[in-house]
Structure 1
């Protein structure tokens, strides 16, 4: 949402930007300044009224509370004097309640309740008064007292320290509740006047700034129109230059990709084709030494000769710069059956298969990748788990080509002896698949059991042959 607002704001004129964004900033500033000023006005008014009340009541209460320097509660004489003082015409209707607290929040006198000598939880304002500070607050009820005042009547709560006459030590704190209807009305009136003044000053500042911005906006618009004409003249040339640059970059990238892909292809083709066939011949040589039947030996030699001839043919194709085998005229759905049949003829092993691939035009790289995947998986299963059941699954669902080769563990036959690795088997196959944006998986269990998986997404434009 912020990006959308920013893009839309970029199309606005300077006048409109200032009117909306500047207006919001000015309005926020006015609100903050006005709130701070009015809060200061209210706070100072309450503090001033509290100081006046404390000074006024101190002249009556302090002389009557001097005995609290040694006593916890007032005696009957000062109590009656304070009661008569509150009931006097000068204070009646003005002072609602008076309490006197000893240090430790012990109630020494109360005009509106009994329970002298009880201990209460000290409040923050009371503690400030015991530290020598007059604390005043506007409240709507007497704290921890009888609700005998009309609902909604504001009160000024004042905590004032009472000091000993000769030593100046704080011997008690007076808690006075004074009717504050007039005080509250005066604060509201002053706050309203303060807001009017802040609004007027803010409006004057905003109008002055808008006039300056409007004049600057007109100048900018004239200059923008003059520059726009010159920019449009060069746009066609810049567009042509950009098209040529993009074509050059794509051509350079394709050349680099083709060279790298060709090098990987030659390396993988040499291993996946001739090297696999030579490995098959090497396996046959191991078993040839144990054969005593001349006919079986001739049959074994015939298989090896065929493999060697096919390896030689593949090497010749690679040397001519061709992918092996020639899959240009082969449909995608025919590739799994072709390589499985070839493997069965070479090894005599029957391969279980579950093929569900429809005919679909795909690039030659995809055909080669599928061919090499099945070839590598079958050869590895025959080499590392001879005699084990092998199953090939290949499906094309929509734009996703999935292939899976799984072989079981060897049972009666010993595992094949380890051979030196060329480093191009599964690593080269993984690189071939991932170069096409696919995913390669390999899971190995005990006694040669393994699962090889491939997953290719053919939805990209590069896979539409």
Structure 2
């Protein structure tokens, strides 16, 4: 009974503590041989039927839950212990036949367990591969749809921007009585529309997947050196913008990605101020320190006396600014202030 309890306990232990379970099973097997040899060495009882079933179950459990090394140990160590005990106890040939049967049956369980575990692992890997393939297919379809929408958006917006550019360019010929100030205003509108078209086409060239578009030349991207020109163009549209630049390095000494991000932060902040706070004063500050570039754009409250209403926005502009800044390991904060709205970004130089 004690030996039977030990074998049952070995089945329980091997599930979590494999070494302890194998050791207890080995001791139980050796004890069975020694106990069987006391009445008569002619009894073929090194492996009784229930002990054989327990050994086969133990090997199967270990081979299914562990790698093949542990499974081989679970099979070989009890078999080796029983063989040594048989030699020490003087069993006859029938006992050795019993040992061979036990080794063969448990070896079959070992093979079944190892192959079953490998089959389960392959099945799990195939399932993971299928899930990954489905995810990649969904992402590819989403990207294709985004590219299609981007192309359609380009076609729609490009037509309107082209009309604006043509109308602004030909206004001085169609209306000869225009004054110099009005002509300069129309020239500014035409230049802004052409710049918007150029940037849209360069972005669309990145989105296109055809081989004929991959080698399309791209226009130079804006940099930090273009911020004064951006502010000046905004002033020509009637917005009162103040610009302070301190300690800014030469544009060639700043990484292109950082310069482009700084330009986009100022551009989106100015657009946001013009859209949501018309006729408000805007202050732009660009300061370069020892390890970071700090950008502050703050606007005052809208001037309601002139009758202009804030224009609704999609809410994606500032989200795009956050993504650009965080991609460079920077930080950005934006929100209402006591006097209006502020956008503050910090871009590391290193």
Q: Which has the higher strand share?
A: 1
Rg (Cα) greater in structure: 1
Q: Which has the higher helix share?
A: 2
TM-score by structure 2 length?
0.44
